[in-house]
Amino acid sequence: MTRQHPFEKALLGRAPFRCVRVEEIVHMGPNGHSRAGSSCDFCGTSIRWVFFIHSSDGKEFKVGCDCVAKTHDANLKNEVAKARREHKAEVKRSEIRQRASGRRQAFLDEYPGLEEALKLEHPITADIAKRFQQYGSLSARQIDLVFVLAERANLASLEAYGCANPPLLDFPRVEGRILVEAKVLSTKLKEGPYGNVLKALYEVRTPMGYWKAWGTLPAGTVGDVRGKILKIRTRLEPSQEDPQFGYFNRPTLVKG
């Protein structure tokens, strides 16, 4: 003769039973002490760890782990033990996420505008934002790059509506060859000692404004490049007459 399940005897539902979730329910007193915040539907005892059970006929009730142990229902006991382990693991993961979130927020508070800049839809920004979520901080170079990309996107947006008006800057004074991203404003064919050479007027945007330069159009460009932005490695030579103008000396095109 099959022994009737204790939960069936208590009219809580029909076997078999399964554990669907677990919660830790507590009440906090005015003195800061906690106490069990629920009760067992089987025995009426106050319980802190509350296991929600489903019966095969669709009923749900809540019990404590002690009452589950007394049923001698091996499958249900295993489910309850597994549910409690998973709940504790999730609580721990949640605490880790909260601490990490606090560290990220503290870092963002140190750099006003960084949180908004990290929302830019740009592959480089997205990668940096992903690393920030993982590690909770960024290097100075990553922060600078995020702000540069955000400012560049903002200027491009303003330019699209015809309202961008960044200031014209003095031509930079930099030693050695540097890498710049320059927009080709116009081109002009000039006659030189070795034949005709295509020259270009360039504009270089920065977060602070822009500066202009005149120089040879580097080899490797194809078709009409007016309006395009080229990656160029060149030496900068300031004009002797105009502090806001200069020249690209032997620029070379950087691909990729």
* The CA-based dihedral angle spanning residues 233, 237, 239, 245, taken in that order and rounded to the nearest 10 degrees: 20
pTM of the model: 0.41
Joined tokens for residue 145: 């790059």
Q: Which CATH class is domain 177-253?
A: mainly beta
pLDDT level of residue 232 (50, 70, 90 thresholds): very high
**168: DSSP letter:** B
pLDDT in tens, 141-193: 888 888 888 877 776 665 554 555 678 888 888 888 999 899 998 888 887 67
What is the C-alpha separation between 196 and 69, in angstroms, rounded? 94
Lowest mean per-residue pLDDT among 7-16, 39-48, 146-155:
146-155
- Answer whether residue 131 shows pLDDT above 80: yes
- Answer whether residue 250 shows pLDDT above 80: yes
pLDDT at 117: 87
Q: Which of 91-95, 100-104, 148-152, 214-218 has the highest mean pLDDT?
A: 214-218
- SS3 of 184, please? strand
Distances (CA, A) of 256 to 12, 37, 230, 231, 253: 69, 62, 10, 9, 10
What is the C-alpha separation between 173 and 239, in angstroms, rounded? 10
Per-domain residue ranges of the chain: 6-88, 111-159, 177-253
Average pLDDT, the chain: 85
What is the C-alpha separation between 253 and 178, in angstroms, rounded? 12
